[in-house]
Amino acid sequence: MTGEPVLRRGSTGQGVKRLQRALAARGFQLALDGQFGPATEGAVRAFQAANGLVSDGVVGPRTWAGLIGAAVPQELSRAGARFIAQFEGFRARLYNDPAGHCTIGYGHLVHRGRCNGTEPAEFRRGITEQRALGLLWSDARAAASELARSVRQPLVQHQFDALVSFVFNVGAGAFRGSTLLRELNAGHYDAVPAQLNRWVYGGGGQPLPGLVRRRRAEGVLFAEGNYS
């Protein structure tokens, strides 16, 4: 991957942490300690051997390209879906969300602006929880696809799930233009929780307690993997 350092056993620092995150995203169990020791070298060699690369334990451009190219999970985990559902809550009937947009089920956006009677008949009648879960998964897939397009750094599953929750809530366009995405793509993982906490304001410019709680939980999930 252009711009990434050549790493080998004995290397230390943020470049090694990025390497370890990329390996973790591919299923290797590693401490994200920034130390290129025997465990990291073994994971690198195993990845290289499995992907037709010279298994020398040295991380150069070809190994970086192989690691980063598919190092973002592709779909929300079951735990991630439950995480989103606990914040959205189930509503069988149309309602206006805190920002004033017409919504149903587990936070499915029917249209921007308040409910006004022009919504599809299915939604005007009300929906089942099963239908609401289907809408949640559909919406989450759209958020997951946005992450796959926009994120250029490796993510492990809990980081991905936290960001899917965020994009599901604020929308792909807001995420695409956010400082959060710029910080993440610069490799500044530690900046993500603080950036999440900036997205807590409703239409009146005041912080909404529900968003404050959600952003805090997303930050903890991203940083620590704690789904509770």
Gap between the Cα atoms of 164 and 208, Å rounded? 20
Distances (CA, A) of 211 to 73, 95, 147, 161: 25, 17, 21, 17
Is 218 considered catalytic here?
Answer: no
Gap between the Cα atoms of 32 and 16, Å rounded? 8
Annotated catalytic residue: which of 4, 41, 88, 146? Answer: 88
Of 226, 196, 225, residue with least CA distance to 213:
196
| CA-based end-to-end distance of the chain | 35
Amino acid at 210: G
Cβ neighbours of residue 26 closer than 8 Å, sequence gap 6 or more: 47, 67, 70, 71
The residue whose two tokens read 């789904």 is 227
Distances (CA, A) of 191 to 7, 58, 102: 24, 29, 32
Specify whether the CB–CB gap between 65 and 1 falls below 8 A: yes
Catalytic positions: 88
